[in-house]
Structure 1
């Protein structure tokens, strides 16, 4: 067993023996970087002392064997005569990894002087592996406690004049061409622990300062003569780092990042005219690099994709519903009509996890030259009003019924493995239906739009196309019936209510709660509490009275030029409504296989959990379908555990990182006196308290008359619009689902604000101007 060894004898491959910090520092020393000399008390030493112990107190009280004590003291003596002051830092095997920095989870002791103090500091570093915060952090990342060991790095103490932290990429913007330095007087612990507001520098790789914000130096941490440190709260005068120091930091940071092949989080010190590096670890939770300026088409597609991908997809999404579901179908449709790349490769992955969203740049192919002729032919042949009578639709529904009837828990493993592909194959003919019936939809809508524009009645268009019957409207009516039953009995537990709820979920339970593009978010049937929240919301007030008659159509037919064309214009309006209904209802029907697909994947997850491969059925989402399909049976997946753990850690690292900066899609506009500004999407002005609803689990927060502020919407959010005074959305445009529904309900809407959910706060009184696209403060 190697108990103690010089720091320079380790490299990046020695994680298991030296821990993350020790391995990285040894790697830097070996390649000539300025790192204070030191040694490592290895994980073998920890294992020898702490065998069978797993509490902080027990490890801290453990006896240090004589041989180990002698080796530590010998290595300490080699650093300098007379009890040299040293820094003693924990270095766990689970820290400083991509996806799990463990920053601040284990302890560091500065200015340790003397043999007894050193042995005690080493023991306290070991014990810090078992602090409540460290245990909780490992639990959150699903890291096995028994598999984690800890080493201790002992380095010559640098009495820093200034010290701090350097990021070799901008941690806020993700810009890889910038370095960010935080610095303050004294030891760097003041900066690392957040005790001080540091000087803040943004540097070019050359060391040129592009931004500087002076700190406040609320406290300076200094070493004391007999060991330990003091916190001097008298502060220190503001003193900017010399230019040569900034240039040296930029040079070192750039070279360290290049050496490790990824952006680094570096702790540094400056003393006696020299810069030293005392820690380097991979940056975690780093946003994607900023996108280059998007062209108008990319911004348009980006506004759609942000709304349809509101959460980070899992690997199982990327290999199932995302390429074969609605996005894949639209890729086929656009490709048929001569446009390539409209829905291709817009999600980039890193370490097997979706990293960022990049709006694609579609381009025409030679096939586009014949598109007008094919559009015209299909518009003549395929009437959207009759699409449900198409034999292909009957086949689709029959195949889906067969899938729904499967008893998934009873299926043998080989048959269960085939279910996802069967579900994905079921929806493939849908692309042909879209290709055939969308041209008729487009023709009907364009014809009506031209008519109302020529007649000077353009404002009626939204009302005219909103009158069609859709499955979404059917679902809303069924929700109102549930709400009426709840009002009548004052309960959601009655026998009649439960029977109606069961029937509702049988008919509409396949509807998505978050997005139709992913399989991992639950459906209404998977999360009936979402439906119950909607019912409570609707039951809290009397039902919204239906609008009498067809007001928009009556106004249009009253135009003097249409006195002899009422029948024809009415027919055109009905055709446009049928087209809108096709667009809405095709989505409703084509998501029907989602529950079977999701259910089969979770059944695989349950079996893998029972076999000990996964900790929970939902962990199967971290795998790709092809990885599952290679398993002969559920007991053959033990090798997948490490893969799931690594991807889960990477996903956890990215939990607070956006897939795309909304400002790249929705350029920042002049605010003036507005709180947020976006695209006007539904006319009118309304005032009310803000209610932020980030996902379907928060539907119950919305009250009547609230201003609904949300990151995205989809058809399952429609009932909220019946109670909201106005709607403000981070994503989307005037043609998005939220905008269309807001116009149907006659409430103001502002879309594409970018950051309304981050800027506005619950209960804040605001006025929403849907005509101007502005949200302002209200009394």
Structure 2
């Protein structure tokens, strides 16, 4: 079939007619007013056989005259890729020869540079082209209707842009349209000087509601109104840029993105969320709290695969809302400001009741407080002993993680994952390492208040530089030593792709540079390592080989990571002496206490990473068992492959293991959604339950040209070429370049050792990225909105980690 009337098309025919034609056919079937037309299917395109006589005959049946000729690619107008403007449209085409020429040019537009680049970015390997031919409408006014606000994400608002004449001027950006924001239910209020009246706006809103209900998602609709006042709908496609909406609770809620505090903005797999909640539930049970076994952490809500914390009940509590501003400083100024503005919203007015179960709080306090006080005091008094106790606890936890004895059934493996995998990290061993860790955090932060007015923030940051006993820093330095061993094989490690090096390592085909010993200790780690669905470095060491190649490019001895770390440690000790002398002149008592804590900080604060490090063996062991279960389910035809189990939760896995539930379709849908979310460039830090990105509501402050503002992450200044990296796997960075990234977690930190500085779009002063940056003595600026888009690789930039600014320099 090469020609088909639009009225005969529906969404099931997208592979034959493309996205645009499928959408038009659906609108016609839904009873909407759509200009008459037909579609030349992809069959002609794939054979490059244009049926000219049939095309001309169909044009004649349409009545001849002027028509619109529009591309309808099979990869167009999809839920995750609109392809807006990527292929061509030709208006006012008249006559057989002009029609044939326009069709051929639509075909050719599938292979323009912009269309090919867009498909690559969207992860679409190939596409075919159908072509829609429709009668032209002569509009007096035309435009675009979004059934959700595309800027704020609000699902209860519609946005209309309108201008006299053809709507193409709006989508091409060549006019300033009249702009209307409509509530889904509120009466339309037109602008007296605009080109649309109340009746027309109401008609557009009604059409938008109908189409959103028909297609099941917010829609981007092109429309036109002719001289008779008739509304014509020209196109409807999903709004692809909206962040997924939170679950509908029937009540306005506010959610804070939780992942960036862990340096993680990529989506978490469903199994990752499920195991995280299950393991955390074990811990709460161990310390006396009562939980719901179906959802031990109900306030931790996955939205778009990211983990959000439901802050609503805390905002509505009279006493707690007053303290929120200070507690949210760790989220950065944008999120903090967004939440503080929402406190004035009547939807978050105070309500009676506590945001937690009082009985749980009392039980947990009674069980934890005595040990906490004793453990923190004991660690501050004898830091070396406390640190040694923490190290022993990590080793003890690792020994206690004992998977089922082989051979084991899938049912036995799953029971162990659910009931036993995290027992070791919820027992006494974890408590023995937590108190020295907290003591170190107290020792690291308290001097700031004690030395207020005496020591500047950047001076206190220096005190935290070159911090010993940090497992992540030790890991990075260990990888540097492996790179030193690799120098005898420099050409091999620089000239071979990391993926090939990883394959050769597993096959035993690489020189021994110490990688086996490194992976024995650190193979449990990876970027986004709290997600059990993510392969560990022991499975895929390719990112490590990429980092080794980066280290081998360091040719200045002073830039060697171990040298830089030693210099940062030396400066820290000197700064403690300087601040002690300065403070003693005016505040002798505070000076002694602050000096004591700063010196204790050097012995304990590095332990801040050890808690999560102790948790990782449990995640790794659970992953191994889950993959074995996945292998069994794939063999039984219930999954396509072993790794698909990571797109189920633990309850769904149980249904597959015990009841034979076939989850292949569910996994395929979730995997597609996950891969779509992996490509999402930005993630809202604060989100309302109607989908509104709260930061988008903030008034824009004055901006100095060429300067991006963020938040101080680590003190110091640096100038260098930017290197924009969105994924650390296989990343290449030259010594002295400044790393610009969406966020960072421990899986990124090996890159820090050759960078001149760090810029991230999200983060917190206490998150992994800026903490490790301070320890390495490199400046960091965090919370720079859209940094990976505003800054280009190769640009010369200057970052000020004290002021929290990034300046794009004139590059002469």
TM above 0.5: yes
Aligned: 1:267 with 2:243: no
Equivalents in 1 of 2:670, 2:740: separation in Å?
35
Aligned: 1:721 with 2:716: no
Equivalents in 1 of 2:76, 2:164: separation in Å?
28
After TM superposition, the structure 1 = structure 2 runs for residues 668-687 of structure 1, keeping only pairs within 5 Å, are 670-672=702-704, 675-687=707-719
Equivalents in 2 of 1:567, 1:187: separation in Å?
75
Please name the residue that 1:475 is paired with: 475
Alpha-carbon offset, residue 311 of structure 1? 0.5
Q: Would you say the 8 A contact 2:584–2:591 is kept in 1?
A: no
Please name the residue that 2:269 is paired with: 314
Please name the residue that 2:530 is paired with: 517
Alpha-carbon offset, residue 511 of structure 1? 1.4
Equivalents in 2 of 1:669, 1:335: separation in Å?
47
Equivalents in 2 of 1:768, 1:139: separation in Å?
29
Equivalents in 1 of 2:650, 2:425: separation in Å?
22
Aligned: 1:701 with 2:656: no
Cα 1:109–1:568, aligned 2, differ >3 Å: closer, same or farther? closer
Query: Which of 277, 291, 312 is residue 323 of structure 1 equivalent to?
Result: 277
> SS of the counterpart of 2:611?
helix
Equivalents in 2 of 1:158, 1:566: separation in Å?
80
Equivalents in 1 of 2:636, 2:100: separation in Å?
44
Aligned: 1:438 with 2:441: no
Greater mean alpha carbon deviation, residues 22-31 or residues 503-512: 22-31
Please name the residue that 1:529 is paired with: 542
Please name the residue that 1:56 is paired with: 47
Aligned: 1:418 with 2:443: no
Cα 1:722–1:670, aligned 2, differ >3 Å: closer, same or farther? farther
Equivalents in 1 of 2:632, 2:110: separation in Å?
33
Equivalents in 2 of 1:16, 1:673: separation in Å?
47
After TM superposition, the structure 1 = structure 2 runs for residues 204-283 of structure 1, keeping only pairs within 5 Å, are 204-205=182-183, 206-208=187-189, 245-246=200-201, 248-258=203-213, 260-272=215-227, 273-283=229-239
Equivalents in 1 of 2:118, 2:803: separation in Å?
48
Cα 1:4–1:665, aligned 2, differ >3 Å: closer, same or farther? closer
Q: Would you say the 8 A contact 1:679–1:753 is kept in 2?
A: yes
Equivalents in 2 of 1:110, 1:387: separation in Å?
76
> SS of the counterpart of 2:179?
strand
Equivalents in 2 of 1:298, 1:22: separation in Å?
39
Alpha-carbon offset, residue 506 of structure 1? 1.6
Please name the residue that 1:222 is paired with: none
Cα 1:530–1:564, aligned 2, differ >3 Å: closer, same or farther? same
Cα 1:106–1:776, aligned 2, differ >3 Å: closer, same or farther? closer
Please name the residue that 1:712 is paired with: 743
> SS of the counterpart of 1:715?
coil
Aligned: 1:379 with 2:372: yes
State the Cα deviation string for residues 92-124 of structure 1 (Å, max 9, x = none): 99876644657679997867889x999989999
Q: Which runs of 5+ in 2 are unaligned?
A: 248-252, 315-354, 380-385, 495-508, 687-692
Equivalents in 2 of 1:265, 1:89: separation in Å?
17
Query: Which of 181, 185, 188 is residue 203 of structure 1 equivalent to?
Result: 181
Cα 1:120–1:645, aligned 2, differ >3 Å: closer, same or farther? farther
Equivalents in 1 of 2:117, 2:727: separation in Å?
30
> SS of the counterpart of 2:726?
coil
After TM superposition, the structure 1 = structure 2 runs for residues 2-13 of structure 1, keeping only pairs within 5 Å, are 7=7
Aligned: 1:760 with 2:791: yes
Aligned: 1:398 with 2:429: no
Aligned: 1:656 with 2:680: yes
Equivalents in 2 of 1:174, 1:201: separation in Å?
16
TM-score normalised by length of structure 2: 0.68
Q: Would you say the 8 A contact 2:122–2:679 is kept in 1?
A: no
Cα 1:401–1:537, aligned 2, differ >3 Å: closer, same or farther? farther
Alpha-carbon offset, residue 591 of structure 1? 0.8
Q: Would you say the 8 A contact 1:523–1:595 is kept in 2?
A: yes
Equivalents in 2 of 1:616, 1:607: separation in Å?
9
State the Cα deviation string for residues 375-426 of structure 1 (Å, max 9, x = none): 54113554662675799766632244657x97xxxx77x4388269538832
Equivalent residue pairs, number: 708
Cα 1:617–1:104, aligned 2, differ >3 Å: closer, same or farther? farther
Cα 1:141–1:538, aligned 2, differ >3 Å: closer, same or farther? closer
State the Cα deviation string for residues 310-331 of structure 1 (Å, max 9, x = none): 11223332333x3245x76787
Cα 1:505–1:16, aligned 2, differ >3 Å: closer, same or farther? closer
Q: Would you say the 8 A contact 1:307–1:731 is kept in 2?
A: no
Equivalents in 1 of 2:287, 2:179: separation in Å?
47
Please name the residue that 2:551 is paired with: 538
Equivalents in 2 of 1:448, 1:649: separation in Å?
41
Equivalents in 2 of 1:612, 1:130: separation in Å?
38
Greater relative contact order (CA < 8 Å, ≥ 6 in sequence): 2
Aligned: 1:360 with 2:338: no
Equivalents in 1 of 2:145, 2:590: separation in Å?
74
TM-score normalised by length of structure 1: 0.71
Aligned: 1:501 with 2:501: no
> SS of the counterpart of 1:589?
helix
Equivalents in 1 of 2:643, 2:149: separation in Å?
34
